[in-house]
Amino acid sequence: MTIVQNLTRPDGQTLAFQKREAVAGTAASPTVVWFGGFKSDMTGTKATAVDDWAKAHGRAFVRFDYFGHGASSGAFEDGTISRWLDDGLHVLRELAPGPVVLVGSSMGGWLSLLVARALSASGEAQRLRAMVLIAPAPDFTEALMWEGFSDEVKNQIMTAGAYRQPSDYDDEPYVITRNLIEDGRAHLLMDRPVAVSCPVRILQGMRDEDVPWQHALKLVDLLEADDVIYTLIKSGDHRLSTPSDIARLHTVLDEVARCK
């Protein structure tokens, strides 16, 4: 079992992470990096399943908690897409500086796409060998939150600064802040082609009530990569964490692991 460690950011905040080193013979292979979902943490079913896969195949793997998530420092309601994106880029710089395969779940799918854009802008696009996106939620703060909120909720966010949204995944409501919504608008992707050229695999549940399958299908159309496979699971919900879902995820990881 890998131990939980802390990566200190320049501002003194800490990011909790677990890193599995590659075994002899696979050291030159890309490091697999997990990007979790909104208010999730690195101990979740899917993150653990990817770690199990990495252990079985001797592959390097990094999973971490964003600012305000899990065992990392900071308050969740102080987080923004900008902050969590910077967390991910910091993890890549410090813990996985070579070639990588990004595995992003829900919000982590959006952040993975933003990381891809940042790597391209810095001349490092060749580092990204493949992406696996699970119920990807690019632009969710606008398209899946703001646009679905009532006028009353929108007014509360704009005047009070926050709205406590009940959640099916947590006993406590999610705090949706004005800062989160407004910051998210600086990172919207779904209004133009998405400049990703590496192989992309998308797993999406047809019964996902949080990220409609049509949203992920629109992403397929926008991706500039040719090697894109979209798998729609008829019985799948947003979690995609049943034994059959995990087996499917492992199969996809087996496939992208061959990307050099």
> Residue 90 catalytic?
no
Question: Residue 203 forms beta bridges with which residues?
Answer: 134, 231
- Among candidate residues 51, 208, 210, 245, the one labeled active-site is 208
Q: Would residue 208 show up in a list of annotated catalytic residues for this protein?
A: yes
- Choice among 105, 106, 112, 245 that is catalytic: 106
SS (H, E, C) 56-115: HHCCCEEEECCCCCCCCCCCHHHCCHHHHHHHHHHHHHHHCCCCEEEEEECHHHHHHHHH
Instruction: Please tell me which residue in 40, 51, 238, 245 is annotated as part of the active site.
Output: 238
Are β-strands 61-64 and 31-35 bridged in parallel, bridged antiparallel, or unpaired?
A: parallel
Integer Cα distance of 112 and 97 in angstroms: 15
- The three-state secondary structure class of 134 is strand
101 in Cβ contact with 131 (< 8 Å): yes
Measuring CA to CA, which residue among 14, 15, 29 is closest to residue 60?
Answer: 29
Is 168 an active-site residue?
no
Q: List active site positions.
A: 106, 208, 238
